[in-house]
Amino acid sequence: MSCVLCAGDGGLVVARTAKFRVVRAIDGEEARRFPAFYRLIWADHVAEFSDLGLADRHVCVDSVTEIERVLRALLAPTKINLASLGNVVPHLHWHVIARFDWDSHIPAPVWAAAQRDEPSGGAAARLAQPLQAVDAAIAAALSR
């Protein structure tokens, strides 16, 4: 009955509104391989995007877009990946992930098998900006 995204933050909180929070993944392999991995987590426990009304869906996707824009502006990724899956945790959340031509999985999805070794020195060191600057820019974009 318990939901991990109701019970806890699910990552490092970088922004919070009445409707949702944005977290950065900080644990485990995914954070190490894909350091610019953010999630918009809807505050209410709903499973599917279509469980939201029109206005909330637009708030949600406009905010996902703001995160995407910050990642593009600061990190110039090869590609942005957006996804709302929720097979394991059916509480609405959107993955917003900056992908790079040097990351361990490109062009495969982050959930697939690795295509190559992780970059020497670590993936986070390859980013054009420190993650703290990205976090702050996302917080600023969502407070406008």
* Chain positions contacting a second copy, by CB under 8 A: 47-50, 54, 57-58, 61-62, 64-65, 68-69, 72, 78-88, 90, 99, 106-109, 111-113
**Consecutive H or E run containing 41:** strand 37-42
**What is the rounded CA–CA span in Å between residue 121 and residue 86?**
32
Q: Closest approach of Cβ 87 to a second copy, in Å?
A: 4
Token duo for residue 98: 């900056």
Lateral strand order in the sheet of 12-16: 12-16, 20-24, 37-42, 93-99
60 vs 127, beta carbon nearer a second copy? 60
Residue whose CB is less far from a second copy, 80 or 138:
80
In this complex, which beta carbon is closest to a second copy, that of residue 6 or of residue 85? 85
